[in-house]
Structures are given as C-alpha cells and as structure tokens.
Amino acid sequence: MAVNLLGNSDVDARVILNVGGQRFETLKSTLKKLPATRLSKLTEQLSYYDPILNEYFFDRHPGVFSQILNYYRTGKLHYPLNVCGPLFEDELSYWGLQREDVEPCCWMTYTKHRSTQETLSILDSLELDTVRSSRQEVIKKFGWDDNYEYVQGRLPKYKKMMMIIWQIFEEPRSSTIAKVVTVISIFFVLVSILSFVLQTLSMFRITEIDFVDVYINATATDRTPTLNRQQVHPTFDIIEWICNCWFIFEIIIRFIVSPNKKEFCKLTLNIIDFLATFWFTFTWVLTKLNVNDNEALDLLSTIRIMRLFKLFNHHPGLKVIITSMKFSSSVLWLLIFFVLIAVAVFASLIYYAERMTTKHPDENMFKSIPDALWFNMITMSTIGYGDLYPKTMLGMLIGAVATVAGVLIIDLPMPIIVETFANFYTHLRARSKLPKTRRKIGPAETTVKKRTPISAVDNGQNLKLLGPATKSLMFGSKTILNNNMMSSMA
C-alpha cells in the first residue's frame, strides 16, 4: 500500500507544465503572481490539460519558457542568449507578457534584432539581389494585375513589349540585351565626362584671334588683333552630341515604358540626367550665338559630372554607401551643427585676440571675422593650408584649442557612421550567400485522436477521472468496466 508522504494541500498546490516535451513543476501560487497572463488562468477544463498525466501540455519553446517561469518566481525577466529576438517576442506574446518586462541589463541585447530587421527591410527595398523580376511581378508594377485582358490571358502586344523594354533598361542583369544596353550606357557616361574634363586642357583648345583693319593713311591699312580667345576643339562637340543623343534616347524610352510616370520624374538620377542633357543643348545654342563668355554658364555645365551617380544603379556596394549616409543623416546633421557652432565661436575669439595683442594692424592676418571663419574651418578639419595663421601667443593658444576641439567633434560621431555602413555591408554579403529559393513550411495538419494511456493494473482509478460517460476501456485483451457509470445507471 502506497503512503502519501505529502499532504493533499501540497499536492493540490503544485502544477506540472509540459512545454515542448520538457516538464516543469511549480506552485499554483507562483503562477498567480502575474495576473491576466496565460499561466495565471490554468484550469482543468482547458483543452491542453491531460487528466491522465495531470499536467498541462504546451507545444512551445522550452528554453524560453524556463526564463518565463523564472520571471514568475523572481519577478525578473532575462533574455536567453541562445534564441533569436523575434522568437522571444513571439513567446512573450503567447504567454501574455510584455516586452517592456525585460530587465535593463538584457535590453540592448534583446533589441538588437530590431535594428537587424530594419536593415534587412531597407536592403529588400533596394532590390540589390534582384536579377530578373517574374512576369507576375512586372505586371503588378504596371498595375495590370486586375486588368480584364490580363485575367483573360490576352494582353496586347504593345503592353508585352513595354514590359520587355522596361526590364532591359531597369534590370541590367535580366538578359543579355539588358547587359549590352548597360555597358553602352556606362560607356557613354564615361566618355562624356572624360570629354568634359579633357576639353579644359590648353592642348585641346583652339586659339581664335580677331583682326581689325586700321587705316594708317589714305593709301595704307594695317590689321591689328583685337580679341584673343580659346575655343573648344570641334571634335569634342561631335563627341558630346553623340553621347547626348544616346542620353536623350535613353531617357525618352525609359519615360515611355515607365509604370509610374510621376515617380519616374521624382527620381533624383532622372532629374540630373534631364538637367545635364538640357544644359548641354542650351550652352551649345549659346555658343553658336557667340554668347559664351559667361562664366556662370560654364559653372552650371558641371552638372553633367553628376551623371556618375548613374553608376550607382549598377553596383550594390555603391547603393549601400548612399543608403548608409541617408540612414546616418541625423548624426551627420548633428555633426555639421556642432562644427558650425565651434567654428563661429573660435573665429570670433581668434579675431579679437589677434586684434588686441597685435601692435600694428597691418601685421594682423585676420582682417575680418570671415577670414577667421576660413582659418578655423581648415584648422578644425586638420587640413591646415597655412595661408592664414595667428602670430600672437594668445592667438596660437586659441588655434591649438580649436584643433583639439575639431578632432573631438568630428571623430566622435564617425564610429556610428562607420558601424552603420559595416552593418549594411555585412548583411549584404550574407544575403548574397543565401539560396534564392527557400523551403516553404505549410500549415500543420492536426488530427485529433482519443488516446488514453492506462496501465494493465488500473483498478478503475483513471476511469474515475473520465467520468460516468465512459463505459469501459480496452487494454490488450483486458476490458475494464466503469463502476461509476454502473452506479449512476442504477
């Protein structure tokens, strides 16, 4: 005869939790410490209660549950290092706990996955690893997925041609023709910029001299040069026109086949391409009209150099650099703000310090505060041209302090920007090694089976737990009658 060494009250106070095949045992009073949670509402009427084994079964992660159960015991929730952040969040949500309950010592480790998820979502939006979009994806971008013609499988030929041309110009790795078009586009960009640079060399320019007839007397004249100017060699005009004909053709075709014309016009690279092409045509017309002596027009023509940014579309690493700068924009603006304040403060100090301590005003190199602003900007950035410098001891001291302050102000935020770029680039390399297609896990098929484990020597104890509705249980060749049902029928 078995002897119960524990009182009935102690047995009733304990509860057994089977989580993912691992059994946990605690007191009911412990689970009541956190009301309005799943464990605080355990009753024997719940579907996951097993009356035979007298336990609650949960098909959840046992490692995370051990920390959750300790939270009920100690009142402190710690983050396990051997699980991923989203998994931990799902478990907290299932058990009815809040993520704010995590202890401060684990908060940085726990929230690290959020920055990772944000980084991955940004990389997904850049479509860096997209080689060729599927037909359904392209149709969805054009907004034809709800079109009656598409549903009937009868898209017009011009729409099919638009999709093909769009992929050729917008997805450089989608086909052999797309790769050829990409190489041609890059070639013309490089040739245009190289031509713009080389035409400034004197060896590639032509000197034009205008002569005026000067009458010496009634019978003799002399030709006197009046204007000496240099013109670009005509070969460069031919090269520029060939390149710009390609740019005009490219931007017109891309605009025609664009799924969203408004978004196309808002893209920065498209705006730069349009302005560069327009400005080349405008300056060429002015040149033919002999209105080419305006230096401001020549300055604005440098916008064609911005076409180099078109190369960013063809290299994922370049896109990551720009994205990192955008992601760190708040830090960069804060850096610029503090640098400007420091430059203004030290410029005022060194200007008046040199002015007060210099015996002769002509010896003061800082004639105005703008001169001091230039000096402090160069000094704080540790470039130091040497065109301006203080001559007095007080001015030198202020310049030294400005140098140290510049190093601290500029260098301290730099690790944040570098870490952002390293984070993006690390995830980019990791994504490149992932398989393009991954196995998809379908929904689980649940089959409900009535299963009652019972020992050969039962003596009707488990039948009492099942109630009077069960007539009998079969175990092998032995049939056990339910005495509870017999008595209720009697």
Q: What is the DSSP string of 9-54?
A: HHHHHEEEEEETTEEEEEEHHHHTTSTTSSGGG--TTSTTEETTTT
- Element spanning 168, H or E: helix 157-170
- Strands of the 22-27 sheet, one edge to the other: 22-27, 14-19, 55-58, 49-50
Structure tokens at 485: 């049902």
β-bridge mates for residue 50, sequence order: 55
Q: What SS3 state is found at 242?
A: helix
d(CA 425, CA 429): 6
**Tokens at residue 228, please?**
């000496």
Distance CA 380, CA 144 (A): 57
Sorted by sequence, the CB contacts under 8 Å of residue 391 that are 6+ apart come out as 354, 358, 363, 364, 365
pLDDT, tens digit only, all 490 positions of the chain: 344 444 445 555 889 999 999 999 999 889 999 988 999 988 888 888 998 989 999 999 999 999 999 999 999 999 888 888 888 989 999 999 988 888 888 888 877 777 777 777 777 766 665 566 777 777 777 777 666 555 556 777 888 888 888 888 888 878 889 889 989 999 999 999 998 888 888 888 777 666 566 666 666 666 666 656 677 788 888 898 999 999 999 999 999 988 888 888 888 888 888 888 888 888 877 777 766 556 666 777 778 888 888 877 777 777 788 888 888 888 889 889 999 999 999 999 998 888 887 767 677 788 888 889 999 998 888 888 878 888 888 889 999 999 999 999 888 888 888 888 888 877 777 776 766 565 666 555 554 444 444 444 444 444 444 444 444 444 444 444 445 444 443 4
* Amino acid making up residue 245: C
Which tokens go with 96?
Answer: 């009815």
Question: Using CA of residue 33, residue 38, residue 42, residue 43, what is the dihedral sign?
Answer: positive
Q: Whole-angstrom Cα distance, residue 466 to residue 114?
A: 48
Q: Could you give the CA distance from residue 107 to residue 77 in angstroms, rounded to a whole number?
A: 10
Q: What domains can be seen in the chain, in order of their start residue?
A: 8-110 (3.30.710.10), 326-432 (1.10.287.70), 450-490 (no CATH)
